[in-house]
Structure 1
Amino acid sequence: MIQVKKCIAFSLFILLSGFCIAQTENSIHEELQNLKKYNENLNQRMDQLQKMADDLIWFERVGDVAHIDKLYIYGPPKRKEKNETALGAGNPVKFWTYVFVPKNIDVNRKYPLIVLPHGGVHGDFTTYYTHIVRELISQEYIVVAAEYRGSTGYGKSHYEKIDYGGLENEDVYASRNYMIENYGFVDEKRVGIMGWSHGGMIALFNLFNHPKDYKVGFAGVPVSDLVARMGYQTEDYRELYSADYHIGKTAHDNLAEYRRRSPVWNTHKFQNTPLLIHTNTNDDDVNVLEVEHLIKSLKADGKKFEYEIFKDIPGGHSFDRMDTKTAKEIRVKIYQFLAKQLNPNRPINSIKELQKAGYRF
């Protein structure tokens, strides 16, 4: 009898121990999930604070040559809604956009517009572009730079509206249209678009989808083939696309969707708007194979464009955006290409002119 009681007691001990362990594991899991959520919210808040600080730096670094403004506009509704019948579902997506206007312009005249989308999967338009903006302003271009859906620095809601290769392109197009509709000194017949990396991809799609509304385009190291990109990038990178609030599936599970969002599979839409493409063989972000595929696809479709494949230029992905002499020389070439179509009042034709425009001395 005593032995039976001992067995029962031991069994109860095992059951209770298992229950306690399970409860402990559940509690730990719950705590970890809460901590993860807290960290995500904290990171978003830190991004917002960083954005506020960087906005102030714009005035310090460019305010001597440009009127700077930040406008609240809108693009198309979200691609998908969590609840399609909820109040506000289907409303346009609101976003901020930077505007830079040369201080010395005559508002009774017309000036060319440069649309300048930023790069990064969840990037934003920062003072990283200071010298490029100064160089554009010195030529008397108006500049608009949209913080399209998915940009960082505006909270979780805007972050999770990301639509890479999708409606973000229309946000940038909306910023172009806003400038023409609201500023009488913007010449709608002289609009160019330029961008690097993800911004280069957006430049390409704007030319493909709205060929009559751009006079010229430049795409530097553009993301070109998401299918190939998913193959050579890391799992963490791929998860940015397969997240529930984004595409929601991997390239393996929805190949057609990744092709739809890739310029290389849309080159048939290109209407031969003057286009310059740059890439670099040692690019550690957008592998040269993507841009080579783009070039081959454009050629296969019989399209006219210009391109240059640079050989192992220091700087890799940022090779022509840096402050090196080589980068400046390459930017002079880019500006000369744009100027042929946009005819700015004070074009940059030498590194000496670029140096003074972008760096004051």
Structure 2
Amino acid sequence: MKKLTVLIILMALYCLPMQAQPGKGIRWSIDGKSYFKATPAGIEAFPLSGEAAILKIPAASYHSLPIRDFYFSGDEKKILLYTNAKKVWRYETRGDYWVLDIASGKLQQLGKDKPASSLMFAKLSPDGSKAAYVSGHNIFVEDLSSGAITPLTTDGTRRFINGTFDWAYEEEFGCRDGFRWSPDGKSIAYWQIDATRIRDFLMIDNTDSIYSFTVPVEYPKAGESPSACRIGVADIQTAKTTWMQVPGDQQQHYIPRMEWVPGKNTLIIQQLNRKQNNSKIMLCEAASGKVRSLYEEKDSAWIDVKSRWDDDNIAGWDFIRNSKSFVWVSEQDGWRHLYNISAEDGKATLLTPGNYDVISIAKIDEANNVIYFLASPENPTQQYLYKVSLNGGKAERITPANEPGSHEYKISPYGSWAIHEFSNAYTYPVSENLELPGHKSNGNIVLNAITKSAGAPNKPEFFQITTVDGVTMSGWMSKPTNFNPARKYPVVFYVYGEPAGATSLDAIGAGRNFLYDGDMAADGYVYVSMDNRGTPLPKGRNWRKCVYRKVGLINARDQAMATKALLQKYPYLDPQRTAVWGWSGGGSMTLNLLFQYPEIYKTGIAIAAVGNQLTYDNIYQERYMGLPEENREDFVKGSPITYAKNLQGNLLYIHGTGDDNVHYQNAEMLLNELIRYNKQFQFMAYPNRTHSISEGQGTFEHLSTLYTNYLRTHCEPGAK
């Protein structure tokens, strides 16, 4: 139901089928002066100073295995190679692993007795003598010298999961890698997820055999208790697990974060209650399992976990001062700010005062006493690099003022170098290496796609519009080729509108419709997208969280009232040719707009939509809507099926029957309501396609053609 925005931007550029697999992460050298990358020649080191790349490990050393990813040992004497990757839900997180000893050239495969492509999250021990991995929902440790393999757990099953996670934890918390080596390499801390009480949702496969069969997914719907979760520490020598004595009912809380405190035999965890509005940070003694609470905060709506503000990365904990404190993010004063939390008494000290949001942390450079972070106090559609003292104070912008748009920085371990990536709505992504804090480029700019298109005639225009409710929304508008303001044009709105993503960002992809087969501007369409309240723009806590228990109502009204204001403000927008479309949460928004505001929207295309909020998973839906047993009426009021009887315009509804995220049952529930009220519509089911509707030969072409033909037929292109 989420995470579509970045994909849409990428597909707008490259016309790729929908996929969520991230690219390889940057592998920094020990000295932080270069980074590593796998090339056809091997693994090469690329100096940030702009010097020629150095071939570190020739491909012949590892027999030209198809490298999916790689990881160096701490001393850079060994390298862990990940190959033959296979998908688990969204990401390719299982495959084969090999260890290459760089000096001797010895190459050995881990887990040779395990099924092919079954190993997950393999990691070398701190001293590089062992490797640990998950296979078949159990954790194993392999001695690299002897090849001996020791199971640390033996009770793992599809529903009883050690060292990784179930569907809901992975999808909603970004939790995938579920175990951590201790700093001394003598033990491993891990999550254990007990999903044995979670009911299976059965998807039906009608195409892969003559007789249909079911595909079970343990999937806790809204209103169902979560999987039970606990944290254990396994001793490498004895394989004995000590369980952390975390208080509370294991099936009524979440533990989305767990790490070792650097240099100590202590774990730090975050516990959320089921409503996710009470967060507790606890310290756990690994040897005894004893737990003490350190820091607690509450919110009348919900509390985001680290993946929301740290680039969707749940791993790591930002300790400083020799582990005496750590940097944390909180919205307790109404803005998303950085705090220094004492590891002794939990005292919180504000580091970034001011009426602005920290978007994400880029780097904590303790040696230079600074924190680099992304923010955009003046324009919520953009983001720039800032720095602030580790002692707190006024933030200083680092990104030059003459580069408006969206900036990302991958900063080296010692904070002196960064890989800087930049794009905006009319500039294709470019990358350069630069020195910090001066933002001095080495002049080696890499073009990631086609060169800039700054002179393009139809670059989108950014605007703000204020609704009758006094809500000011950001958006972009892409106008037709040879635009004439004296004529009237059809307008197509792209929507998402839920807490998981924003669409109005000033980044490449804005103003482009990846699904349209042709040139919308040349065909005479105005293309618009706006972000309503509830979307994760850096506009303060209240902007983001006022939709609590009102998803499907407040966000839909904002979109509708903003559309109404645009139609009144710009006479060239034809109110008789208004279309709206979206995918996932945007599909839900499309349905709500078409059903709740039929006088505004004449045509809608909804893809993979949640038609009934009670069908979606508990972590996401309960976070934003509460518990159905307490306020079921809010789930009903926010669901499109409640308003299906109001359909007046044209609806194309599309869903994959193999969608393990937003289940196909949403389509059939919605269809039943439309049929009940004799509402005519067009429907397309894609057999066995998942939430991305990307599998199978010809799928994207078919989807694009279907979408385009329907839009052209029911929202006639061209000026009038």
Using structure 1 for the length normalisation, give the TM-score.
0.71
Distance 1:174 1:136 in 2: 25
Q: What secondary structure sits across from 1:144 in the alignment?
A: strand
Pick aligned residue for 2:701 from 310, 321, 328:
328
Distance 2:499 2:665 in 1: 19
Pick closer, same or farther for the CA change 1:123–1:307 going to 2, 3 Å.
same
Distance 1:58 1:307 in 2: 33
Pick closer, same or farther for the CA change 1:71–1:30 going to 2, 3 Å.
farther
How far the C-alpha of 1:122 sits from its partner, in A, is: 2.7
Equivalent position amino acid for 2:359 in 1: R
Aligned to 1:194: 581
Equivalent position amino acid for 1:276 in 2: L
Aligned to 2:610: 223
Q: Deviations over 1:259-287 (max 9, x none)?
A: 1111112212223x111000001223211
Aligned to 2:382: 52
Listed as ranges, the matches of 1:244-283 within 5 Å are 249-271=626-648, 273-283=649-659
How far the C-alpha of 1:310 sits from its partner, in A, is: 0.7
Moved more, 193-202 or 66-75: 66-75
Q: What secondary structure sits across from 1:66 in the alignment?
A: coil
Aligned to 2:544: 159
Aligned to 2:492: 114
Equivalent position amino acid for 2:553 in 1: G
Q: Deviations over 1:201-238 (max 9, x none)?
A: 11111111222322211111111101122xxx143x23
Q: Is the 8 A contact 1:76 1:170 kept in 2?
A: no
Listed as ranges, the matches of 1:133-172 within 5 Å are 135-155=519-539, 156-162=541-547, 163-172=550-559
Pick closer, same or farther for the CA change 1:44–1:310 going to 2, 3 Å.
farther
Kindly indicate whether residue 479 of structure 2 is the aligned counterpart of residue 183 of structure 1: no
Pick closer, same or farther for the CA change 1:240–1:41 going to 2, 3 Å.
farther
Aligned to 1:341: 714
How far the C-alpha of 1:120 sits from its partner, in A, is: 4.6
Q: What secondary structure sits across from 2:624 in the alignment?
A: helix
Distance 1:208 1:269 in 2: 5
Q: What secondary structure sits across from 1:202 in the alignment?
A: helix
Pick closer, same or farther for the CA change 1:317–1:136 going to 2, 3 Å.
farther
Distance 1:137 1:157 in 2: 36
How far the C-alpha of 1:170 sits from its partner, in A, is: 1.5
Unaligned stretches of 5+ in structure 1?
A: 1-23, 78-91, 243-248, 347-361
Q: Is the 8 A contact 1:76 1:171 kept in 2?
A: no
Q: What secondary structure sits across from 2:609 in the alignment?
A: coil
Q: Is the 8 A contact 2:594 2:604 kept in 1?
A: yes
Q: What secondary structure sits across from 1:252 in the alignment?
A: helix
Equivalent position amino acid for 1:336 in 2: N
Distance 2:296 2:712 in 1: 55
Distance 1:76 1:197 in 2: 28
Q: What secondary structure sits across from 1:211 in the alignment?
A: coil
Q: Is the 8 A contact 1:192 1:216 kept in 2?
A: yes
Which structure ranks higher in relative contact order (CA pairs < 8 Å, sequence separation ≥ 6)? 1
Pick closer, same or farther for the CA change 1:312–1:137 going to 2, 3 Å.
farther
Aligned to 2:463: 71
Normalized per residue, the structure richer in helix is 1
Q: Deviations over 1:132-181 (max 9, x none)?
A: 37843342211121111111132333212234101211111123223222
How far the C-alpha of 1:345 sits from its partner, in A, is: 2.9
How far the C-alpha of 1:38 sits from its partner, in A, is: 4.2
Distance 1:283 1:135 in 2: 30
Distance 2:603 2:595 in 1: 12
Aligned to 1:41: 337
Unaligned stretches of 5+ in structure 2?
A: 1-281, 284-291, 298-325, 339-356, 361-373, 384-404, 407-422, 429-452
Q: What secondary structure sits across from 2:478 in the alignment?
A: strand
Aligned to 2:476: 98
Equivalent position amino acid for 2:544 in 1: Y
Distance 1:252 1:41 in 2: 33
Using structure 2 for the length normalisation, give the TM-score.
0.37
Q: Is the 8 A contact 1:99 1:144 kept in 2?
A: yes
Pick closer, same or farther for the CA change 1:121–1:291 going to 2, 3 Å.
farther
Q: Deviations over 1:26-73 (max 9, x none)?
A: xx7454659654495358422755952565422225762524222222
Aligned to 2:692: 318
